[in-house]
Structure 1
């Protein structure tokens, strides 16, 4: 499980050092893809394969499903962390997530999210109150 918040920096070559707590799960290979809210999503390879298969099973006659599958496949890169636990984020991924130097890496239970630090701070400020008041059909019996 991926949990916690970390603040690594991107180096000049676009490399991001993964938190040590996450490396054991990700050292067998990982997939970096465009995530929601202009973040990046980092999945263990096996978890991503399962997600991609579920997405590919959606009806291709549905334009929204087609667009999602296309964007998921086109926006994903396979990576293996180096000996220091670093991955290289492509220029396109850095552009999409507006990543420069200051990053926030958060555990999102079954995958990892990479955010621009300022974007993450804005997201937290905008959503922290709704988290403390969480209720509703989307949450089912979680809260």
Structure 2
């Protein structure tokens, strides 16, 4: 399980160090793709295979299913950790998430998320105000 929030930087070559606490769970190779809310999602290969199976099962006749599957898979790349625990982030993913120098890596249960520091700060500020309301709406999920 991935949890926590870590501040990191991306160098001029698009490389970023993955937090040490996340490396074992991700493995030497994992998948990075466009996520929701303008961040990137990173999945261990085992988790990616489960998601892949679920998305393959979506009906091809549904427009939203086709659109989501295209969006999700077209942005996906396999990342290899180098000896220093770094990955090289593809330029299209850097652009999508507006990742430049300062970024935040968070753990979200079965995945990690990579955020631009400024977008993450804006997102959390907006969500803090409505956290109690969000929690109330989660009551039906037995949390």
Q: Distance in 2 between matches of 1:95 and 1:23?
A: 24
Separation in structure 2 between the aligned mates of residue 58 and residue 79 of structure 1, nearest angstrom: 26
1:136 aligns with 2:137: yes
Check if 1:77 corresponds to 2:77. yes
Q: Measure the CA separation in 2 of the matches of 1:54 and 1:139.
A: 24
Alignment CA distance shift 1:99-1:138 (3 Å): farther
TM-score of the two chains, using structure 2 as the length reference = 0.95
Distance, in Å, in 2 between the alignment partners of 1:49 and 1:28 is 16
Q: How many residues align?
A: 142
Unaligned 5+ runs, structure 2: none
Distance 1:136 1:52, change over 3 A: same
Q: Secondary structure at the match of 1:67?
A: helix
Residues of 2 paired with 1:125 and 1:137: CA distance?
Answer: 20
* Superposition deviation, residue 135 in structure 1: 1.3
**Where in structure 1 are there 5+ consecutive unaligned residues?**
none
RMSD, aligned α-carbons? 1.3
Give secondary structure in 1 for the equivalent of 2:115: strand
Q: Structure 1 CA distance, aligned partners of 2:18 and 2:139? A: 31
When the two structures are superposed, what TM-score results if normalisation uses the length of structure 1?
Answer: 0.95
Q: Equivalent residue of 1:25, what SS?
A: helix
Secondary structure at the residue paired with 2:32? strand
Q: Secondary structure at the match of 2:10?
A: coil
More strand by share: 2
Aligned-residue offset at 1:129: 2.5
Q: Which residue does 2:9 correspond to in 1?
A: 9
